[in-house]
Chain A
């Protein structure tokens, strides 16, 4: 069993299962804060999947996308937090 098989048959399925679990929380989250947190975690897991995928395909170019995704996750969380607080303040 070489590195390729290990990543393809063990690591990627584990990451897929964890993203499915987070999706369950994303759909059933009682408040909107839960959904924002779940979305943040989904993008973070996506960064990990991209890292493993770039190893399997031997293309380090994919790692650029992970930087963009990290930026989007942070900006999304900050924007959601800001506007949720503003909406609460105006009521």
Chain B
């Protein structure tokens, strides 16, 4: 019974990791590559680690595996967000067939801060920036 579960989890884990690798190679755009990297690879590695926990069936191993899985699940989106933000500031273009760019003209290019939508917010942000300068 345990063997069947190990077959299933390790098989699907390897499949998702392979899909993530193919996606990293074939996707046309940095942002799509980052998306593939966070979702598919995290799921695949989580399944592979679960297969290790199923094989050993000890408390110490299961605890370690859970720690690794939780750590990856927390850190993967944070790292992806940071690197995607950096990629946007570096001026990397979106794929030609992308439909919307919600952040277009909303970032201040020099200070990397979000611009305000309406006039009142703009005043507040302007005052805030002056306070920082003085």
**B17–A14 CB distance below 8 A:** yes
Q: Which of B34, B45, B78, B83 contacts A47 (CB 8 A)?
A: B45
- CB contact under 8 A between A78 and B82, given known A11-B10, A25-B24, A52-B48: yes
Q: Which residue of A lies closest to B79 (CB)?
A: A77
Q: Shortest Cβ distance from A46 into chain B, in angstroms?
A: 9
- CB contact under 8 A between A81 and B48, given known A37-B24, A67-B68, A89-B112: no
Q: Shortest Cβ distance from A23 into chain B, in angstroms?
A: 9
**B87–A33 CB distance below 8 A:** yes
What number of B residues sit within 8 Å (CB to CB) of A? Answer: 51
**B11–A11 CB distance below 8 A:** yes
Interface of A is mostly: helix
Task: Pick from A6, A10, A14 the residue with the most CB of B within 10 Å.
Answer: A14
Q: Which of A60, A73, A84 contacts B56 (CB 8 A)?
A: A60
**B14–A15 CB distance below 8 A:** yes
The interface residues of chain B lying within 8 Å CB-to-CB of A71 are 71
Cα–Cα, bound, A51→B22 (Å): 21
**A44–B45 CB distance below 8 A:** yes
Cα–Cα, bound, A77→B18 (Å): 21
User: Can you sample 26 A-B contacts with CB below 8 Å?
Assistant: A3-B55, A15-B17, A18-B14, A18-B22, A21-B24, A22-B21, A22-B25, A25-B25, A31-B90, A33-B86, A41-B21, A44-B72, A45-B17, A48-B48, A51-B52, A51-B65, A60-B56, A63-B64, A74-B78, A77-B79, A78-B82, A84-B90, A85-B85, A85-B86, A88-B89, A89-B110
